[in-house]
Amino acid sequence: MVRVLFVLGLISMVLGAFLAIYQKDLKRLLAYSTISEVGYIMFAFGLGTPFGILAGLFHLVNHAVAKALMFLNSGLVVYATNNERDLDKLGGLREKMPVTFTTSIIGSMSIVGVPPVGGF
């Protein structure tokens, strides 16, 4: 069972990341990113060590909080732009939505692991 989680985690990490890279839809980008992050969590559980399980649980909680913030922000952006989700058409929102911009930066930093946020 441990090896299955390990292998499925590796596949999910890579596949989710590649699908997210080429995505132009805001919410789909976040969803594919989540697939990749769940791969990291499964990979950690698949290690089968106490530290791996602890790391997987911590990443699960951190990712849930940060990604919830990102989905809330994406909902605000979609609402404010009359249902526009195409990333090529979304631009200049920093001046129009400064609070959403700030919280998106914090959520993004947590997901990618920039110190001192939880993802680090």
| Residues 6+ away with beta carbon under 8 Å from 85 | 25, 26, 27, 74, 78
* Model pLDDT for residues 70-110, shown as the tens digit of each residue: 999 999 999 999 999 988 888 888 899 999 999 999 998 99
Domain spans in the chain, listed from the N-terminal domain onward = 2-112
Q: How many C-beta atoms surround the C-beta of residue 39 within 10 A?
A: 21
Block residue for tokens 């999910």: 12
48-75 pLDDT tens trace: 899 999 999 999 999 999 999 999 999 9
Output the pTM of the full model.
Answer: 0.86
